[in-house]
A and B are shown apart, each in its own frame.
Chain A
Amino acid sequence: MRDEKTYDAIVIGSGMTGGWAAKELTENGLKTLVLEAGRSIVPEEDYVEHVPPWEVKFRGMRDRHRQLEDQPIQSTCYACDEWSAKFFVSDKEHPYTTEPGKPFRWIRGRQVGGRSIMWGRQVYRWSDLDFEANLRQGIAIDWPIRYADIAPWYDYVEDFIGISGEALGLSQLPDSKFLPPMQLNCAEMAVRDAIARHFGGERVLTIGRVAILTKDHRERAACHYCGPCERGCITRSYFSSLNATLPAAEKTGRMTLRPHSVVHSVSFDRRTRRATGVRVIDAKTRAISEFHGKLIFLCASALESVRILFNSATSEFSNGLANSSGELGHNLMDHVKGGGAGAFIPGGQDQVVFGRRPNGIYIPRFRNVKTKQVEFLRGYGFQGGGDREGWERGIAQTGFGPEFKKSLSRPGPWRFTFNGYGECLPNHDNYAELDKEKADAWGIPVLKIHCAFGENEYAIRKDMSIAAAEMLAAAGARDIEPFTDDDPPGFSIHEMGTARMGRDPKTSVLNSYNQAHDVKNLFITDGGAMVSSSCVNPSLTYMALTARACDYAVQQMKRGDL
């Protein structure tokens, strides 16, 4: 193919936010190049959600030795299974380093669609409780935006992606524009009712809010409840860039999507103070080429985007492009998880679920909302849910023979689990830098990540296990097992904060429109922009910020300011 070298805009990354940048910029008339480091995904060939277990070699036990060899980090993610391991990177080709005693799990997907192919699909709006927290508590810096700034963009994004959920009217968790909610199951309804009785409305159990269609929406079909969304979806029922935004961008005729394009760095013109283009290594041939654009959108993920900027250092920006503040790579956050409880819910032996719902329950934040908690700042929400135990319960039993077999043909007792996801405070000492001693498979220096949870996160995790056990007790559960697992940062796969927004160029990398203070035609709209972490899943906010930043950039271009 003839390789055009000059575009109106270049988007780096084709995942959750890159797809939105591609859609918004092309729909606004810009000829846009989308660079993706990984391969193309062909849904008809690569999606494997309907491949049954008897058609995979290890029947769901995974290709263990290959994973130990090639994906020791990635395979710690539940979704990196025998079907979907191909959507996760090779740790050998994509190394990174950490400090001894400070593990960080960096789960990555390099392909067209990025991690939006196997994401968790949970989508929640932030509120002013989140946007104002840093200011009120004197932590880090203030967000330069408030809920009113982003609310119309939540509307805009939600209208396109389709979100199912239940409206609750809670101030700490504003409602989205919902499609009909998925159903709770029998055990979940029982637990919901018990929580309503025992916690005076402070704690509320609702169905998870998910970017999965419960009815046909914008030429995408309603969910058919096969279950494992992380393996792809041939009916495009859950949102991914591959299922929705990239096709929309493609439809404009103005997108050039270039897979196997590993971005090395962004080039910068000292005289014009503008980024001029992007240096790319062909993942297959290793050939180096350069593309030019008037507008550069970094959408490669919080850590990859700053890695690119570190590798773009100039004599002026010796610590990384657009890093006059010195904050680039710092304030790395990820939601603290690992706290919760599990138990059996008595009864309901004659009731089962029909279909596999790719969603669980949600309990919105209830700590430090109306009443102040002394043990920690901010709060957490619970995900989880109930289900009847399957045949696996028979392994540890001692029975065998016809009666045993018959007993396993029926589902077991109802099991219920709460898993907390808690807010992580921004901390300058949690950061990523270039490790100049180590390079990836393409010779590009890798990141060294320094990150650890602090006292507040540990206090939150402890409280999760107590509060979860309280709710299970209220529901009459038995064999309640609270847990506090030492999951390292990174494992919620919500890494963010490495190129934060702010009003002051001395303390922040981006302005309130995700525009680099130092380089006006450079935007970072992935998780890097976040100033605090809230406790809710962040993708919806990344998408809304991306659409908002694109609108701003296009207006600026039209006015001749860019």
Chain B
Amino acid sequence: MNRRDALRLLATGAALQLAPGNLLAALREARALLGTQTTVHTLDLHQHATVTAIAELIIPRTDTPGATDVRVTEFIDLIVTEWYDVEERTHFLNGLADVDVRTQALFGRNFVDSSPGQQTQILTVLGQQMAEEANALQDHARQYQDSPPEPNKNFYYMVRGLTLRGYYTSEAGATRELDFQIVPGRFNGCVDVRASREDREN
């Protein structure tokens, strides 16, 4: 496969004609050829779908874009692939697999095939366990906003952190959901919330 073929494969959906087993291999080959142009690195299609479902549950599309709209899973895959160390990557992937283990045990199906109510139930349990672990750690150390977070052993904490960062640092998340402006032009130390929104619109 040459670079042109790889681009065509990724761009036109020609990959869908391949047998599922060959699909991943072909995609990986295509990605390898395209270097940083790739959109998926570590997560296979099922893992990708599971992360996407979790991220969209955390930050759903409402009157503003949601996690899927801003391609949060691509960012998460990038971090899992190029930012995490081996231990963190393993921990993340194990935690992700554990989500299906939980839904299989309770509902006899994978997370992505579970109903919205079942998915909500799972995230609620994951959240409770995360909070219990955090309380046990009693870790009150506060970090600089942009400093690398400490490696965390809780999968749900990891995926929440990446989902929120991926969303709120995306263009839509920053400018449509939050009021981020690259050049505010002035500083006012104390304005009414509503006045601030009007300011922004004028």
B9 CB within 8 Å of chain A: no
Chain A residues positioned under 8 Å from B148 (CB to CB): 61-62, 64
Closest to A411 in B: B193
On whether A391 and B189 interact (CB within 8 A), knowing A401-B57, A481-B140, the answer reads: no
In the complex, which of the residues B130, B149, B169, B177 contacts A53, with contact meaning CB atoms closer than 8 Å? B169
B4 CB within 8 Å of chain A: no
Contact B169 A354 (CB under 8 A): no
A436 CB within 8 Å of chain B: no
A101 CB within 8 Å of chain B: no
Complex Cα distance, B85 from A164, in Å, reads: 45
On whether A398 and B130 interact (CB within 8 A), knowing A62-B146, A226-B184, A404-B58, the answer reads: yes
Q: How many A-B Cβ pairs are below 8 Å?
A: 151
Contact B189 A185 (CB under 8 A): yes
A200 CB within 8 Å of chain B: no
Instruction: Count residues of B near A (Cβ-Cβ below 8 Å).
Output: 57
Q: Which of A18-26, A345-353, A491-499 contacts B (4 or more CB under 8 A)?
A: A345-353
User: What 0/1 readout, one digit per residue, does chain B (43-76) give for beta carbons within 8 Å of chain A?
Assistant: 0000000000000011110101010000000010
Complex Cα distance, B109 from A138, in Å, reads: 78
Contact A61 B79 (CB under 8 A): yes
Closest CB in chain A relative to B42 CB, distance in Å: 15
Closest CB in chain A relative to B122 CB, distance in Å: 11
Chain B residues positioned under 8 Å from A342 (CB to CB): 142
A1 CB within 8 Å of chain B: no
Contact B160 A395 (CB under 8 A): yes
Contact B62 A400 (CB under 8 A): no
On whether A398 and B127 interact (CB within 8 A), knowing A54-B170, A186-B190, A353-B190, the answer reads: yes
Contact B59 A392 (CB under 8 A): no
Contact A353 B188 (CB under 8 A): yes
Contact A224 B183 (CB under 8 A): yes
- Which residues from 165 to 180 on chain B have a C-beta closer than 8 Å to any C-beta of chain A? 165-166, 168-171, 174, 177-178, 180
User: Secondary structure of the A side of the interface?
Assistant: loop
User: What 0/1 readout, one digit per residue, does chain B (138-163) give for beta carbons within 8 Å of chain A?
Assistant: 00101011111100000001001100
On whether A225 and B185 interact (CB within 8 A), knowing A65-B82, A390-B145, A391-B178, the answer reads: yes
B201 CB within 8 Å of chain A: no
Closest CB in chain B relative to A344 CB, distance in Å: 12
User: What 0/1 readout, one digit per residue, does chain A (384-396) give for beta carbons within 8 Å of chain B?
Assistant: 0000001110111
On whether A405 and B62 interact (CB within 8 A), knowing A60-B165, A481-B140, the answer reads: yes
Chain B residues positioned under 8 Å from A401 (CB to CB): 57-58, 60, 120
On whether A189 and B169 interact (CB within 8 A), knowing A394-B164, A398-B131, the answer reads: no
In the complex, which of the residues B60, B160, B180, B185 contacts A402, with contact meaning CB atoms closer than 8 Å? B60
Sample of 10 more A-B contacts, CB < 8 Å, known A402-B60, A409-B178:
A52-B182, A60-B165, A350-B192, A353-B187, A355-B187, A395-B164, A398-B124, A401-B60, A401-B120, A405-B62
Closest 4 CB pairs of A and B: A398-B127, A355-B187, A185-B189, A355-B184
